Amino acid sequence: MTDLAPPITAEAVGWTVEVVSEPFTLGSEDVDVAVARLGEHAEQNGWDLVVGVTELPLRADDGRYLLAAIDARRRSAVLSLPALGGVRVQARARHAVRGLMDEMAEPATREDQRLPLPRISARGRLLMAMVLANRPWMLAAGLKSALVAALATGAVATIEPTVWSLAISLSGWRLAAAMVASIAILIAWIVIDGELWDRPEDDSPASRERSRLYNTSTILTLTVGIVICYLALYAVNLAWALFVLDTAVMSDALGRAVELPDLFLLTWFVASAATLGGALGTGLESDDSIRAATYSKREEERRARLAGERA
């Protein structure tokens, strides 16, 4: 993962602020490793203070997630962006960096500090930030083969009389079950085909918790992204059905009256079938394409580095 300091403005006369962006090792998820490395950077570059801003979640030895940690001896601190939540991140980061700088510049500061998140909201805040960083609304654009397969499946299914008969005969709860099943199957397919499941580096509780956090963010990212894709498929297939289908022709073919509201039920069923078609389309995507579509650049780099270390 990459530690990236956001641009800040020195408010006190005499301060010179230098912004550096560079990759950190996976061990930087350990807060002690992170602040130690930052301290080394400060010594090597002759910096008075150093604040590292990382897109990794930080976790203390007691298991609590941290907003920030300060190493008073080395005049270094590390701030976790996910701990700020998923909204107004830049403004909150600037405010937090200034606060950390003020704290380290205070001569009375002698002890290392850990700034934990509230236990109740910590995990939810981290997950929201991690999911938003992954931009789930961009999933469809990154999986072009899956999108083409889904659209083709929907276009063919919409004009198939057998599909008309099946869709109109299904009850509402069965159509809902088909929708949930198709979304779940596509999520599982992407996770398996793209090898997105994060495995613990060892059997330690910290490592297992870290994997659970990343896997949960992956599932939530895919769920949000695929639901958005499903709604888009529904809209496209509904427009196609309204354009090409005639309820009178459908009534003659099915031997029963078909009205305009039935097209909405047909489109619902077709959207589920198209989603399954999209699952087959993901098989044409490379693992790198799937990871690029699912994760932010920083998370993609973290996983690629992890895969390289395990190889």
Reported as a single tens digit per residue, the pLDDT across 107-165 is 555 568 888 888 888 888 899 988 888 888 888 777 888 888 888 999 999 999 889 88
Q: What is the pLDDT of residue 53?
A: 87
pLDDT at position 275 is 92
Q: What are the residues facing 116 on neighbouring strands?
A: 66
Name the one residue in this structure whose structure tokens are 């022709």. 249
Closest by CA position to 300, among listed 129, 59, 130, 85: 130
Cα distances (Å, whole numbers) of residue 134 to 143, 212, 220, 251, 300: 14, 17, 10, 46, 9
pTM for the complete prediction?
0.81
Backbone angles phi, psi at 76, to 5 degrees: -130, 150
Residue with tokens 């932010």: 296
Residue-wise pLDDT tens digits, 235-249:
999 999 999 998 898
Separation CA 54–CA 37 (nearest Å): 13
Predicted pLDDT at 273: 92
Please state, in angstroms and rounded to a whole number, the distance separating the CA atoms of residues 55 and 72: 22
Amino acid 5: pLDDT: 44
From the list 289, 294, 277, the residue with the least C-alpha distance to 146 is 277
CA–CA distance, 296 with 157 (Å, rounded to integer): 34
Give how far Cα 270 sits from Cα of 114, 223, 235, 267, 283, Å.
Answer: 53, 19, 11, 5, 21
- Show the low-confidence residues of the chain (pLDDT under 70): 1-15, 22-29, 107-111, 283-287, 296-311
Backbone angles phi, psi at 272, to 5 degrees: -65, -45
pLDDT at 119: 82
CB 264 within 8 A of CB 238: yes
DSSP at 5? P
Residue 200 structure tokens: 């613990």
Q: What is the pLDDT, as a whole number, of residue 173? A: 94
- Give the DSSP H/E element, type plus range, for residue 176: helix 172-193
* Distance (Å, whole) CA 269 – CA 165: 11
Burial level of 149, CB count in 10 A (0-12/13-18/19+)? buried
Q: Determine the residue type at 153.
A: T
